[in-house]
Amino acid sequence: MNLEGKTCGVCNKGKLKKFQERIAEGVYVDAYKCEHGHVSYSEEVMRRVEALERGHAEERHIVKVGSSLAALIPAAIVKQLNLKSKESVFVSAKGNTITIKVNSSAG
């Protein structure tokens, strides 16, 4: 579906112009940006992007542990990284992304 020239669905003011957006290393999709900077995608592109993200990630729920919150790490990732209970990791946040890095110097 071509959205070029249509009114932006976010601000309902700007007209959409087509461009190529990089969503992952070596993966580009057709996207549409209005003059106010809002980006839109066709439904087909959104389905493909969501499928790509699901292929690289598993959905988890946040659980309460004492006075902290935790997210369980999927068994496949535990096995892939050879993680052990009580292993030291670094946790950081940027925007709405949480990154967990294994402390490779611990041991």
Provide the 3-class DSSP secondary structure of residue 44: helix
Contact by Cβ (8 Å): 31, 44: no
Give pTM, 2 decimals: 0.49
| Residue 106 pLDDT exceeds 70 | no
List the Cα angle 39/94/81 in 5-degree steps.
Answer: 110
Same domain, 23 and 37: yes
Tokens of 34: 């209005």
Tens of pLDDT, residue by residue over 6-61, are: 999 999 999 999 999 988 778 889 999 999 999 999 998 888 877 777 666 778 89
Q: b or e along 40-68 (b: 16 or more beta carbons within 10 Å of the residue's beta carbon)?
A: bbeeebeeebeeeeeeeeeeeeeeeeeee
Report how many domains make up the chain. 2
Q: What mean pLDDT comes out for the span 58-69?
A: 91
Residue 5 lies in a domain: no
Question: Which residue segment(s) compose the domain that 21 sits in?
Answer: 17-56
